[in-house]
Amino acid sequence: MLVNLVEILKLAEERKCAIGAFNTPNLECVNAVIAAAEKLNVPVILMHAQIHESASGLEQIGPVLVQAAKTAKVPVCAHLDHCEDLDYIKRGLALGFTGVMYDGSTLPFEENLENTKKVVSLVKGENCGVEAELGAMPPREGGENAPGPVYTEPDEAVLFCRETGIDALAPSFGTAHGIYKSKPVLDLERVRIIAEKTKLPLVMHGGSGVSPEDYRVGISNGLRKINYYSYMSKAGTKAVKELLEKQDVTYFHDLALAAEKAMEANAESAMRIFYGL
């Protein structure tokens, strides 16, 4: 069942859990995430990130995400992740996406605020919610050699949320995108303060590779959406490697299916933590 970002985050608030939000740049990822969510009977968010255009173009994979959401037995939001321009968001809306994240986090505060306002007014009247980012969580998906994180100031967050009218905020509190090279040190008290002051659902980016205990504390402090991809994808790659070491595989679809099964298992264990199952 296709639902929008506001509706799915309301379910998270009712259950005091975080909704798993998975990047799904290809069909195997979509199938893996939907299968895990249906098995556990939990709502879930499928995401296409602008940075994954090289894997699948928006007009190719977008309809797949929306259709998978419509036919799923659980509530599913089809969400655009890390959009950096309005045109990309317009294209997503035309395809039926029900959530968008505008990422102006690398811009100066005022510019991020003005652009985010434009996104909120663009989406107004559509069956779609808006997430925005304040502070910076480098590196970007796929990026390298970025400077360290810029933590979100709670009072700036209050002003930003009030002025823009967004539905969810992604603050920066020590997570990073991609595979962690050392154990992340998270400022979860900052999450609690920002949630209390903004009264908005908060989003964790760089959710792969965080300890179960940090997830639990983060959720009880106000995280309602956790973005997760790198470790799921890594599990798929590992399964393919193992299969190729064991046998001589001719058909690519056998590799794709092995990856899908492994990603489903990985997504399921992440969901068990996010939903407290």
Which of residues 175 and 221 has its CB atom nearest to Zn ion in the complex? 175
Which one of 81, 103, 167, 214 is the catalytic residue? 81
Which of residues 44 and 239 has its CB atom nearest to Zn ion in the complex? 44
Give the nearest distance from C-beta 203 to Zn ion in angstroms.
8
Give the nearest distance from C-beta 45 to Zn ion in angstroms.
12
Distances (CA, A) of 122 to 75, 111, 177, 256, 267: 24, 17, 28, 38, 32
Give the nearest distance from C-beta 227 to Zn ion in angstroms.
5
Give the nearest distance from C-beta 205 to Zn ion in angstroms.
3
**81 annotated active-site:** yes
Piece of 25-33, 153-161, 197-205, 216-224 that binds Zn ion (CB under 5 A): 197-205
Which of residues 195 and 203 has its CB atom nearest to Zn ion in the complex? 203
Q: SS3 for the chain, per residue?
A: CECCHHHHHHHHHHHCCCEEEEECCCHHHHHHHHHHHHHHCCCEEEEEEHHHHHCCCHHHHHHHHHHHHHHCCCCEEEEEEEECCHHHHHHHHHHCCCEEEECCCCCCHHHHHHHHHHHHHHHCCCCCEEEEEECECCCCCCCCCCCCCECCCHHHHHHHHHHHCCCEEEECCCCCCCCCCCCCCCCHHHHHHHHHHHCCCEEECCCCCCCHHHHHHHHHCCEEEEEECHHHHHHHHHHHHHHHHHCCCCCHHHHHHHHHHHHHHHHHHHHHHHCCC
Of 6-35, binders to Zn ion (CB under 5 A) are none
Piece of 10-18, 124-132, 202-210, 234-242 that binds Zn ion (CB under 5 A): 202-210
Distance in Å from the first CA to the final CA of the chain: 22
Over the window 203 to 222, marking each residue x when it contacts Zn ion by CB under 5 A and - when it does not, the resulting string is: --x-----------------
Which of residues 79 and 205 has its CB atom nearest to Zn ion in the complex? 205
Residue 52 binds Zn ion (CB under 5 A):
no
Give the nearest distance from C-beta 177 to Zn ion in angstroms.
5
Size of the site for Zn ion (CB under 5 A): 1
Over the window 129 to 168, marking each residue x when it contacts Zn ion by CB under 5 A and - when it does not, the resulting string is: ----------------------------------------
Which of residues 190 and 205 has its CB atom nearest to Zn ion in the complex? 205
Chain residues binding Zn ion by CB under 5 A are: 205
Residues designated as active site: 81
